[in-house]
Each structure stands twice: as structure tokens, then as C-alpha cells.
Chains A and B, each alone.
Chain A
Amino acid sequence: MLELQNVNITFYKNTVNERRALQNVSLRLEQGDFATVIGSNGAGKSTLMNAISGFYDIDSGRILLDGEDISYQKEYKRARKIGRLFQDPLKGTAPNMTIEENLGLAYTRGARRGITSGIKKRDHGFFVEKLKTLDLGLEDRLKTPVKLLSGGQRQALTLLMATIVTPRLLLLDEHTAALDPKTAGKVLAITEEIVSKNHITTMMITHNIQDALTYGNKTIVMSGGRIVLELSGQERKTMTMERLLELYSSTANDTFSDKMIL
């Protein structure tokens, strides 16, 4: 369960460039919730995820994960519980290390890393099993340096790495945006499968309105650093793409948030 209480982040505070990237953001996701997040460029979606993951320090407010206050925990410590994927496929893997070594590293997430072998014999079969589920033929290329993989393959591998030890929260920041439509569809399908199979609480940022409604059980619309709309249940089911698109595009100007507040 993820809970945000009145979280604020302001960049370049007290200068002419002051930018309130998150304004009193409060949010609650239950265990197993899969929320999609939409909003125009600069709405604060990535900042929201970066605040949760600890990449940015928050100015005020509280962030709770399964009841534990992680507001001021170091990024690498939060990473024990939070899996993360970025838009850039290059960010999620170590290019000069092999597929197997990358998986070995991911598999020790949250554990104390000591001087026992990084890739144990008994893990080998497990990695092969997991790679097979991706259906990209990576199971035959365990010794290949990751830099030789395509963007889509790397992103699928990153997804596997982020979830090989089931995280308590999965953050996906436009993780298919850099992929061609076919590969993007495939990575999304794998995402859906892994998330639902393991009941992982998930947030997924996307600019694809159709995806935002198709995947998950909640949709969050952001604008100007605020959450301006939360859709779930019946309201979400009956929401059409056209209607949401209307709301979505009007978030580009701030009148939308005003309307929503009124």
C-alpha cells in the first residue's frame, strides 16, 4: 500500500524560475492497485515518481509504503522495496555486464551482498525459466553483454530485473515510449502479466490514453503539479477515450485544474 500525504516539491525555490513541480499531492494506492498516470508535458508525473523513489528529496509531506514512513529514506534503501523502469532503456541495465550478471545483481536486491558467488548454479536454471517467459530468445544468450541487445530487449530485461524479487511497488515512467509500436505492445503485455501474477502495486506513466484506460484499475490525471482527477471503478469503466482526451488536452492550460477544483 502506497500513501502520499500533502507532498510538495519546488525547484529553484525563491528565484524567478521557481517551479512548483508537486503541489500538495495526496494519493492512496491499495495493495495490488495498478494505476496509470497521464498528464501533459511538465505536469509533474516524473517528479511524482522521483519523489517516491527518493531520487528527489521532498520539501514537505509524507510518503508511506506499507505503513512505513520512507519520506526521507535514501534512494538506494528505498530501492529494496521499489522497482523502477525509465523511458530510456539504457538506464536500467549495466551495458558491459552480461545478461546473467545483470540478473544476478537484481536477484540480490534487498539482501546483503557479500562475497558469495554472484551467480549461483541453482539460480542459473531459474534465470533461464524467467527469461523464457519474455519469449525473446534471451534465455540462450545469458553470457551476452547487455549492450548488444536492442532497446526493447533491454527494457524487457529491465522489467524482469525490477520484478525478479517481487517489489512492494513498481514505478514505470513511460517505459515503452522509446520502443517501436510492436515492441512497445509486447513489453506492455509482459508488464501486465508480471504485475497481475504477483499482485504488485504499480504506477505507470503513459502518454497513450488508450493504454491508460486499458491497463490497470485506476487512472490518475495530473496537471500543474497536482492530481486533478482520479478515475476508478464504474466511472473509469464508462470513461471513453474521447472524453478523457478532452480532459487530458485541456490540462495543457491551467483552466482544467480550476474547473476541477470548482
Chain B
Amino acid sequence: MAMTTIMGALELGLILALMSVGMFISFRILNIPDLTVDGSFTLGSAFAATFAVQGQSGTGVLLAVVAGALAGAVTGLLQTKLKIQPILSGILTMTALYSVNLWVMGNKPNLSFFGKDTLFTPFERFLPELAAKIVPILLLLAIVTILIRLFLGTQLGLSLRATGDNEDMVRASSINSDAMKILGLSLSNAIVSLAGAVMAQYQVYADISGGIGMMVIGLASIIVGQALLGQKGGVTRGFVAAITGAVVYRFILTFALQSGMASNDLKILSAALVVIAISIPEVKKFIQKRRARRHA
């Protein structure tokens, strides 16, 4: 593989890693399958692109974060206040977001802002070309992950974690579990939306269907990472696994594309990866059992 291909895979992988860190909060810490993701990822791209066209990339990214948090809060409210099933709540928000995203993009299915300043422009001035993208992406990923990890060690963070771990206990400990779920889903989708914004900035382009399949990709990253690094370990290890998984996932895709796979087939590859990664523990168990039986 050429150096630029490798760097490209790494850059994309790290942007997806940012999204996976966000999804880790809903999927792993709160234990809620949140399908808002496909919509909130595009939401971030939409804000970033719309403002970048006017040369205001910074504002666009900030608004992306706020909008993502609001989208997560909506899903949380549907779940907790209206008692709608978690999966359905996410699907409803995601569906509604399709319209919202089109509004944001001025009813255009895609927006290009080639030639405008992006978040990467300042870095391009003083960094060599090869580093100009990866450095800011890595920095952002590191800052977000560290901040989230620190937050999860606070009183509020512990309450959030306990909500996903044992809701009975949480209510008996005077924690408002509804509020925790709303908070967690907001946080999660704010980061997913941020990842969408960074993706748009990276590609200098946003597409209304850019977020489709992102939920599965994030899930693949979390699960592949866990399969690689092992099930055990605390929250920190979970984040490291999600990041590793995202990068590995992206490299697998790049490799598949390089070896001639049509880009249309990528989605089925993503789905297959999730299935394989999830089934690894079961397959291991099966093999162990057979071995035990043979020796018996």
C-alpha cells in the first residue's frame, strides 16, 4: 500500500474512532442500543458543511456538537418520558433527523466547500503535508476521550455508569435514572455529531446519506476492538478497544477496496465483520466444549 493510502486509512479510522468513543457511552456504558447515530452523524456533517461554505468552519463544528446533544436528548426523552422502546426511540429520531439535515443543508442533498478554509487549514500552514490532517484529528480524539474518561470518574459520571449497570440499585440510591439516560445519550450523540462534522471537514464535502451505516460501523469498531483486546477491563480499556477497533476496521476496508472490492459491497463487509466479532466468544466456547467432550 502506498503511504498516502495508509495515512488516509489511519485518518479515516481515527475519525471513526471518535464516533466509536461517543457510541461507547450509549452502547456500553448505558447499555442502550441507540440508533440515533446514523442521523446525528449526518447532522454534524450538515452543520459543518453549511457553515464552512460561508467560511465559518469553527462555528459549524460548535453548532454540530450542540445539535448532536439535542438530538440525543430527544431520543432520551422519548425513551424515559414517553416510555418508547430504546430501539424505536432511536429510529424515530433518526428518521426525523433526515428532514432536519435537509433543512440545515438548505434542501440540497450534498454540499461541497472545496477551496474554503477548514479546521485543517491552520495546521497546513506550519505542519508538513503528511501530518497536517492526522495531528489535529489525533489531538481532538485524545482530548475528547480524556475528558470523557475524567467525567466518568466524577460523581455524575459514576451515576451515569451505575444507571447502565444496575438500574434498580440506581433508583434506590437516589439517582434520577431518567436524567442520567438523557444526559448520556446527549453526550454520546454530541460526540457522534462532532465526528460527522470532522468527517465533512476532512472530505470538504457533506452528503445527506453520509451517516447511513455509521451505527453498524461504530458497533463493529467497539466489538472488533473488544475481540482484539479481550472482554475484561474497565472503562479506559473499553475506550482504547473502541479506538483500536475503529482503526483496524478501517484498515480492513481499505485493504478490501485495494484488492478490488466494489465500494457497494462495503456495507455487507461491515455487517459480516460485526457478526464475526460478536460470534468469536461463542465459537471459542463451542471449540472448548468439543475438546472437553473428546477428552472425556
Contact = CB atoms under 8 A, between A and B. Distances in A.
Interface of A: 53, 74-77, 79-80, 83-84, 86, 90-97, 101-102, 104-106, 108-111, 113-119, 161-162
Contact of A118 (B158, B166, B169, B176): B158
Interface in B104-157: 151, 153-157
B171 A75 contact: yes
A109 B166 contact: no
Contact of B169 (A74, A80, A93, A110): A93
Per DSSP, chain B at the interface is: helix
A105 B166 contact: no
A183 B166 CA distance: 24
B177 interface: yes
Contacts, number: 87
Contact of A92 (B156, B157, B169, B174): B169
A106 B173 contact: yes
5 contacts: A75-B171, A92-B168, A94-B165, A101-B158, A114-B155
A113 B162 contact: no
A74 to B, nearest CB: 8
Interface residues of B, number: 22
B172 interface: yes
Per CB-CB distance, the 4 closest pairs between chain A and chain B, nearest first, are A79-B174, A94-B165, A113-B155, A118-B158
Given A93-B166, A94-B169, 5 more contacts: A76-B176, A86-B168, A92-B169, A97-B161, A105-B155
Interface of A is mostly: loop
Interface of B: 151, 153-159, 161-162, 165-166, 168-177
A105 B172 contact: no
A209 to B, nearest CB: 28
Contacts of A86: 168
Contact of A116 (B154, B161, B170, B172): B154
A144 to B, nearest CB: 12
Nearest to A77: B174
A214 to B, nearest CB: 27
Nearest to A171: B172
A92 B158 contact: no
A115 B155 contact: yes
B162 A105 contact: yes
Contacts of A102: 162
Contact of B174 (A76, A93, A96, A114): A76
B158 A97 contact: yes
Given A101-B158, A115-B151, A116-B154, A110 B174 contact: yes
A172 to B, nearest CB: 12
B172 A79 contact: yes
B174 A118 contact: no
A246 to B, nearest CB: 36
Contacts of B166: 90-91, 93-95
Contact of B165 (A74, A75, A97, A162): A97
Contact of A115 (B154, B169, B170): B154
Nearest to B157: A118
B17 to A, nearest CB: 23
Contacts of B169: 91-94
Nearest to A161: B173
A53 B173 CA distance: 11
A106 B151 CA distance: 18
A40 to B, nearest CB: 25
B156 A97 contact: no
Contact of A96 (B155, B165, B176): B165
A216 B151 CA distance: 43
Given A97-B161, A97-B162, A105-B162, A79 B171 contact: yes
Contacts of B168: 86, 91-92
Nearest to B166: A94
A109 B162 contact: no
Given A91-B168, A94-B165, A117-B153, A104 B174 contact: no
Contact of B156 (A53, A76, A115): A115
B154 A117 contact: yes
B19 to A, nearest CB: 23
Given A92-B169, A93-B166, A118 B177 contact: no
Nearest to A111: B155
A217 B91 CA distance: 55
Contact of B175 (A53, A76, A118): A76
A256 to B, nearest CB: 33
Contact of B155 (A53, A118, A162): A118
B155 A116 contact: yes
B155 A108 contact: yes
Contact of B159 (A74, A95, A105): A105
